[in-house]
Amino acid sequence: MTTLHPFSVPDTERRGFMALLPAPARPYALLARFDRPIGAWLLFWPGAWAILLAGGPALDVARLILLFGIGAIAMRGAGCVYNDIVDRDLDRRVARTRDRPLASGRVSLTGAWAFLIALCLIGLAVLVGLDWPARWIAVASLAPVACYPFMKRITWWPQAWLGIVFSWAALVGWAAVAGRVPAAGLLLYAGSIFWVVGYDTIYALQDIEDDVLAGVKSSARAMGQHVKPGVAACYVLAMLLWAGAYWLRRPDPLAVLALLPMALHLGWQLWGLDPADPQGALHRFRSNRTAGLLMAMAALAVGSAG
């Protein structure tokens, strides 16, 4: 087992939720990124938007939002564990990831697989709470999810594949409400893909130097000196597609106007983005939790009124 430098254990083990866990459980919680809930939020939001925009009885909407919240935590954790299993050798070569529990040896490969299965069983329990159209769409996501960790070795645009995966809940959410996915749901899904590409490109700015050394591909590297206009293009496309979804749901200019707070927030992200400032990039990436909330409020207003 690898011996860790005393300062290599993340501070999150010593505060909040992580500090309450028994010491043997903490590496597994870190493996699933339970100390960094931003990923679960980003996985949750597209499904929540779809549920709220599709509308329906309040109790049904609340039940689905709860199920999707539990599912997002479990499946984001499962995705992180699977990603670390696949990338354990690569992670040892990148400064930001070399101290992850599996790469550092704090969790065994057998333990990681067992934990992955346990998290997937939680996801399965959530799946049982959905109707069959939503179940089939959710099951169809397994193939792109399984392929994602390999994308950074194959394409310069692994963020696009992440967008396909992280936005999938929009399709599941709309089907859970309506039993099908209409054109508005497809536009919502497509817009979410471009949103994910934008914010994950910002996130990838932190790792450009290490990625070059490790041979890892990313949209941040592909865009090079054009990162800001590239992310801007992604966000503009996302807003246009979302505007189309809102218009199809409720053909009223006020429905599209509900997206203004989201548009302003994404504009703020771009305004002060400095590709050479990793901490600033991380701050803007994390702010997408707020962006998701703004979008959810717009979806609620339009979905409940339509």
Q: Minimum mean pLDDT among 41-45, 187-191, 202-206: which range?
A: 202-206
Position with higher pLDDT, 93 vs 238: 238
Structure tokens belonging to residue 302: 């339009």
What angle do the packed helices 227-249 and 183-204 form, to 10 degrees? 160
Find where tokens 């993340």 sit: 10
pLDDT of residue 90: 82
Q: Mean pLDDT across the stretch 51-79?
A: 97
* Residue pLDDT, tens place only, 106-139: 999 999 999 999 999 999 999 999 999 999 999 9
- Band (pLDDT 50/70/90 cuts) for residue 51 is very high
Q: How far is C-alpha 189 from the chain's CA centre? A: 13
Looking at residue 156, the DSSP 8-state letter turns out to be: S
* Residue pLDDT, tens place only, 11-20: 455 567 788 8
pLDDT of residue 6: 37
Find where tokens 């597609």 sit: 241
Q: Minimum mean pLDDT among 41-50, 174-183, 212-221, 223-232: which range?
A: 212-221
pLDDT of residue 96: 74
* Residue 305 and residue 265 in contact, taking contact as beta carbons nearer than 8 Å: no
Q: How many residues does the chain have?
A: 306
* Residue pLDDT, tens place only, 152-196: 889 999 999 999 999 999 999 999 999 999 999 999 999 999 999
